[in-house]
């Protein structure tokens, strides 16, 4: 239960910090942080939680990460449902807090609410194939970073930095394409508030990250198996 509570809190912080930076700060006149600031905010949420709850739950904060770690032989299948439920609920809670804050502004309009999308709902107008490709590849690389940084042979104590900076880079690349998901819980949390097109396109932001994560787990387990996991 402590692990699930940690995942709930951590995923809520990821959504509040990452999506909150996009909703509250990215377009603020003269002081807006822009895409680069949002990318950094997402990286910082994972970086801070890695050191806050990493020793409790592993700091997955993401159903794709949980499934990728399982695929890589680093996580037991019996714990997958609980982790995913905690992550999705934590993300929804974070989005709820963000909604309460954002709706307190004069003339508030929900708009896209930092939801993920493709086609006319992509920041750059990218189509479905481009969205599928970027989400699969970016999640694949995210899991490669995670699996490598947390390997028993990796330098101890630096995993959080590598993972946080990796997520920042991923957002710098893919925000214009899909608003960056690589995380089904993050996508679900925002889509439930936006509804309509966001829930209609949500399938892609579950399928693509999971496919990318599962592939990464298989590949990394092949190129650098973890002795403890293989024992």
Q: 195 in the Ramachandran plot: left (φ > 0), alpha (ψ -120 to 50) or beta? A: left
Residues 60, 83 contacting (CB under 8 angstroms): yes
Print the domain residue range for 83.
Answer: 2-230
Q: How many domains does the chain have?
A: 1
Instruction: Quote the distance between the C-alpha of residue 108 and its chain's center.
Output: 26
Residues 6+ apart with CB under 8 A from 26: 32, 33, 34, 35, 37, 38
Residues 160, 51 contacting (CB under 8 angstroms): yes
The CATH number assigned to the domain holding 192 equals 1.20.1080.10
Q: pLDDT digits over 44-90, tens only?
A: 999 999 999 999 999 999 999 999 999 999 999 999 999 999 999 99
Count the Cβ atoms, other than its own, within 10 Å of residue 204.
Answer: 20
Q: pLDDT digits over 4-42, tens only?
A: 999 999 999 999 999 999 999 887 766 678 889 999 999
């Amino acid at each position: 239960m402590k692990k699930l509570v940690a995942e709930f809190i951590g995923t809520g912080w990821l959504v509040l910090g990452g999506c909150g930076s996009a909703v509250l700060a990215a377009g603020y006149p003269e002081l807006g942080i822009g895409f680069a600031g949002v990318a950094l905010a997402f990286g910082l949420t994972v970086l801070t939680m890695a050191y806050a709850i990493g020793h409790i739950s592993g700091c997955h904060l993401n159903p794709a990460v949980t499934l990728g770690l399982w695929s890589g032989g680093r996580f037991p299948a019996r714990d997958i449902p609980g982790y995913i439920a905690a992550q999705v609920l934590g993300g929804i809670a974070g989005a709820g807090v963000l909604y309460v804050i954002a709706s307190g502004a004069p003339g508030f309009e929900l708009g896209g609410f930092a939801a993920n999308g493709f086609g006319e709902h992509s920041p750059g107008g990218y189509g479905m194939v481009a969205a599928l490709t970027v989400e699969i590849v970016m999640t694949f690389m995210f899991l490669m970073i995670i699996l490598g940084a947390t390997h028993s042979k990796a330098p101890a104590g630096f995993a959080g930095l590598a993972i946080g900076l990796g997520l920042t880079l991923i957002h710098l690349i893919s925000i214009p394409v899909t608003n960056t998901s690589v995380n089904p819980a993050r996508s679900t949390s925002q889509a439930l508030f936006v509804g309509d097109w966001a829930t209609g396109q949500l399938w892609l932001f579950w399928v693509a990250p999971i496919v990318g994560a599962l592939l990464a787990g298989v590949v990394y387990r092949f190129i650098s198996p973890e002795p403890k996991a293989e024992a």
